[in-house]
Amino acid sequence: GSTLFPYTTLFRSNGTTEDKEYLCLQELLLRCILSLDVVDSEGLDEVKIARRSAVKEIQKIINELESKV
C-alpha cells in the first residue's frame, strides 16, 4: 500500500484547486512520478514493471485527490 493514500483519504477540500493542502499533496505526488522517471531499469523487466506499477498507483491516488475538489 501507499504511504500517501491515508493523506488523500483524509483530505477534505475547501472546494478549490487552490487549497493549500491539495496543492501540497499534488506536488508531492508529481515529484514521486518524476523520481520514478529517472530510475534506470538497466533493461531489467522486473524494474520496468515495478516502476510502471508505481506510476499507475500514484496516478490513481492523484485521480482520487482530484475527485475531491
Higher pLDDT, 65 or 36: 36
Predicted TM-score (pTM) of this structure: 0.76
Tens of pLDDT, residues 17-61: 677 888 888 899 999 999 999 999 999 999 999 999 999 999 998
Give the up-direction half-sphere exposure of residue 22: CA atoms within 13 A in the CB hemisphere: 15
Q: How far apart are CA 27 and CA 12, in angstroms?
A: 17
Higher pLDDT, 25 or 12: 25
Alpha-helix residue ranges (DSSP H) falling in the chain? 5-10, 20-37, 45-67
pLDDT of residue 68: 78
Handedness of CA 46, 51, 56, 60 (dihedral sign): positive
Grid coordinates 484547486 are at which residue?
17
Model confidence band, residue 1 (pLDDT cutoffs 50, 70, 90): very low
67 touches 10 (CB < 8 A) = no
